[in-house]
Chains A and B, each alone.
Chain A
Amino acid sequence: MLQFDRSSETLPIMTDDEYAKFCAFFYRQTGIEYHDNKKYYVERRIVDRIAKTNSESFRDYFTMIRFQASGVEMQALVNLMTVNETYFFREDYQFDALVTGILPALVKGKRRGDPIRIWSIPCSSGEEPYSIAINILERWEQADSWDIEIHASDIDSRILAEARAGRFSARSVGRVSSALLSKYFTRKIADEYQICDALRGSIDFSLVNVIDPVQTRPFRNFDIIFCRNLLIYFDDVARRETVEMFYDCLAPAGYICLGHSESMSRMSSIFRPRKFKDVVVYQKPGPGEPLP
């Protein structure tokens, strides 16, 4: 169970109707869907924000997040509501496929001098884009022959600040070998590993809400998109919209890698499944290629 300092005596602060209205609003803004069984989770966080903002009631607070021009409070609430769980080398069979299959196949269609562009969305506290970088540098023998850009985005501004700072706990780096730890990290205090400046400086971090077309529109011509462990929080329509949006973010013949519990077959048929070793990823059709 969740542990909170406040007692639950202050609950409920919202009626079932208000909860439904709030969920509909939050869903429209973020794509994230909460069922009835999440009422406690949601309410605890709203109580926290009501106290911090000195709001009178749930209704007051709800008005504020809907109409505040700066959007500051909505961002604060989003930061509190998201699940940021992540760690280095998570689902690393996909990074295997990246360096042994996807990148070699990708560069066959590229000219020298073309950049390779990778987008990690959502990146949470940065473990995913840094893992991509380390895997490429360590394990792809052609890494030095290409310009590789890694862009990383998340809806949560607080977690992005952590990603930029690049300080990680022992738990987060638990799957990183000691050789790689000493090569790419410095140990500050007992439970803090600082990623090296070279890596920190090579990744472009940005605040992006994946379901907002205005925010995603600048993201074009990517060769590979990692979208892992986000769509599980979305409902069916938001999932469809998201992967269809990725279609326009990808260069022809570009690839999408989803998390292991996120099956493209339940969302869309516009990508072609491609197998690299034991990993299935999805590819946008190349120029002049018919769709599946």
Chain B
Amino acid sequence: MSRVEPFARNPNDGSKRVLVVDDGTTMRLFYRSVLEAAGFVVEEAANGVEGYEKALAQPFDLMIIDINMPKMDGYSMLRAIRADAAVRATPAVTISTEAGDKDVIKAFEAGANFYMVKPVATRELTEIACLITGARPQ
């Protein structure tokens, strides 16, 4: 995992928490390995309902949300969170395989703060996570 290493000595102090919501096992592992190497604490959820549940259970500094998932898709999860006073303010990045203007607009309308298209590069992911959470990038 040579690409992940440059971030291993990141001064980020491990106090920033990220929730990754994706139905793909390898995808969640990838987010975890990249973000942990950059000093984030990572929690996983495999669909929108589980994501909403975890977001309620503990505070997060950032949510990374896949769009196409069974049980509850990413847009629906985000809309539910934005309507819930207990967790409304948590920043969110949606990630999807779809890159059309329509998709980007839908994501922002649902309440996303940022939009990324798969496949996501390590550096891009870390930079966005640092930027949004205010963690210090290397």
CB-CB nearest in chain A for B48: A269
Measured in the bound complex, the distance between the Cα atoms of B76 and A290 in whole Å is 11
Q: Is the CB of A280 within 8 A of B72?
A: no
On whether A269 and B56 interact (CB within 8 A), knowing A263-B50, A264-B49, the answer reads: no
Q: Which residue, B45, B49, B52, B83, has most C-beta atoms of chain A within 10 A? A: B49
B47 at the interface (CB under 8 A from A): yes
Chain A interface residues toward B at CB < 8 A: 263-266, 268-269, 272-275, 278, 280, 290, 292
Chain B interface residues toward A at CB < 8 A: 45-50, 52-53, 56-57, 71-72, 76-77, 79-80, 83-84, 86
On whether A275 and B86 interact (CB within 8 A), knowing A264-B53, A265-B53, the answer reads: yes
On whether A273 and B52 interact (CB within 8 A), knowing A265-B45, A280-B57, A292-B72, the answer reads: yes
Measured in the bound complex, the distance between the Cα atoms of B79 and A269 in whole Å is 13
Q: Residues of A contacting B57 with CB < 8 Å?
A: 275, 278, 280
24 contacts between A and B (CB under 8 A): A263-B50, A265-B45, A265-B46, A265-B49, A265-B52, A269-B47, A269-B49, A269-B71, A272-B52, A272-B80, A272-B84, A273-B49, A273-B56, A274-B56, A275-B57, A278-B57, A280-B53, A280-B56, A280-B57, A290-B83, A292-B72, A292-B76, A292-B79, A292-B80
Q: Which residue, B52, B76, B86, has most C-beta atoms of chain A within 10 A? A: B52
Measured in the bound complex, the distance between the Cα atoms of B49 and A272 in whole Å is 8
Q: Residues of B contacting A272 with CB < 8 Å?
A: 52, 80, 84
Taking the nearest CB of chain B, how far is it from the CB of A75, in angstroms? Answer: 36
Chain A contact residues: helix, strand, loop or mixed: mixed
Q: Residues of A contacting B52 with CB < 8 Å?
A: 265, 272-273, 292
Q: Residues of B contacting A278 with CB < 8 Å?
A: 57
CB-CB nearest in chain A for B51: A265
Q: Residues of A contacting B53 with CB < 8 Å?
A: 263-265, 273, 280
Taking the nearest CB of chain A, how far is it from the CB of B106, in angstroms? Answer: 17
On whether A275 and B56 interact (CB within 8 A), knowing A265-B71, A269-B72, A292-B80, the answer reads: yes
CB-CB nearest in chain A for B86: A275
Measured in the bound complex, the distance between the Cα atoms of B113 and A208 in whole Å is 49
Measured in the bound complex, the distance between the Cα atoms of B53 and A289 in whole Å is 19
Measured in the bound complex, the distance between the Cα atoms of B56 and A235 in whole Å is 27
CB-CB nearest in chain B for A275: B56
Q: Residues of A contacting B83 with CB < 8 Å?
A: 290
Taking the nearest CB of chain B, how far is it from the CB of A163, in angstroms? Answer: 32
Q: Residues of B contacting A290 with CB < 8 Å?
A: 83
Taking the nearest CB of chain A, how far is it from the CB of B84, in angstroms? Answer: 8
Q: Which residue, B47, B50, B79, has most C-beta atoms of chain A within 10 A? A: B50
Q: Which residue, A264, A275, A278, has most C-beta atoms of chain B within 10 A? A: A275
Q: Residues of B contacting A265 with CB < 8 Å?
A: 45-47, 49-50, 52-53, 71
Measured in the bound complex, the distance between the Cα atoms of B50 and A274 in whole Å is 12
Taking the nearest CB of chain B, how far is it from the CB of A272, in angstroms? Answer: 7
CB-CB nearest in chain B for A272: B80
Q: Residues of A contacting B79 with CB < 8 Å?
A: 292
